[in-house]
Structures are given as C-alpha cells and as structure tokens.
Amino acid sequence: MKTFVIGDIHGGLKAIPQILKKAKVNTEDTLIFLGDYVDGWGESAQVIDFLIKLESTHKCIFIKGNHDVYCENWLKEGTSNQSWLFHGGTMTIKSYENYSSEQKSEHLNFLERMKLFHIDKQNRLFIPCRIYFNAWTFSRSSPI
C-alpha cells in the first residue's frame, strides 16, 4: 500500500487518469488530494464528478484549497467576487452550465465535507499550498 499526494488539478480533468495510470495506483493505495480542484482549465465540474466516483473505488482524502472555497461559496450562495472570477472562477461557472440543481448540490456536499488539513498515522501533515491559519489555532505546546 502506497500513499500518493496530488495537488492543484485546477479543472484539468484529462490529467487525473493519466497521473493515476502512470503512478500505477491501485485500490489498496491512499490518494491524498491537496485542494484546488477547480478554476483554471475548463472542466472543473467534471473534475468534481470524477473525484466523487473515484472516492467510491479508492481510499481518498480530500483537502480543501482556496479555489475550492470560492466555488463552494458560489454553489451555496450564488455569490462570486472579481478576484475569483479573474483567477479561474469564470471558467468554473461555465463548466456548470448544463448541471442540474441536484448535481450542483452533490458537488456542494462534496466540497463542504472536505478537510482543511490531514495528519496521517505517521504524523505527517498535509496542507494545501495556500493555507489560512486563521481557520484554526495551533498551540505551541502541542505537536501538529
């Protein structure tokens, strides 16, 4: 059993199966995704579909990135900001054009249940590149 860490998919659906095949990932392995599943390439909604299906056959841990927070807010409240739209949000919204409210709700549920970080049994910390420390407080007296 191996652990693979994958980050910053950014709507690049075609890359995911290529990576999994090249790494020879099997169902015994653990896949840790470091966030930013959306924004960038034009298949953000389809990436989320793929990851939801992958989770049913593989052990996956999904950590939420800052781009995912923006998408989550848009799916939940229908709100967006200029910064997000400029940095890929427009392409993400466009990828949802033919999605039903039920499909969007399933994606929102997926994003809402993601972790902000993960610590494995070997005490290794996995975080997305852009971490928001005000989301939680670390104590100096206790190990991470």
| Strand partners of residue 63 | 115
Span 2-17, pLDDT tens digits: 999 999 999 999 999 9
| Residue written as token pair 């975080």 | 127
Q: What is the pLDDT of residue 137?
A: 44
What does DSSP assign to residue 84?
H
| Contact (Cβ atoms closer than 8 angstroms) between residue 39 and residue 88 | yes
pTM score of the predicted model: 0.87
Listed residue (99, 107, 144, 114) closest to 34, CA to CA? 114
Instruction: Report d(CA 65, CA 70) in Å as an integer.
Output: 9
| Contact (Cβ atoms closer than 8 angstroms) between residue 52 and residue 22 | no
Instruction: Report d(CA 91, CA 88) in Å as an integer.
Output: 5
| Structural tokens at position 42 | 């034009």
Instruction: Report d(CA 30, CA 61) in Å as an integer.
Output: 8
Summarize the confidence of residues 46-59 as an average pLDDT: 98
Structural domains in the chain, CATH included, are: 3-135 (3.60.21.10)
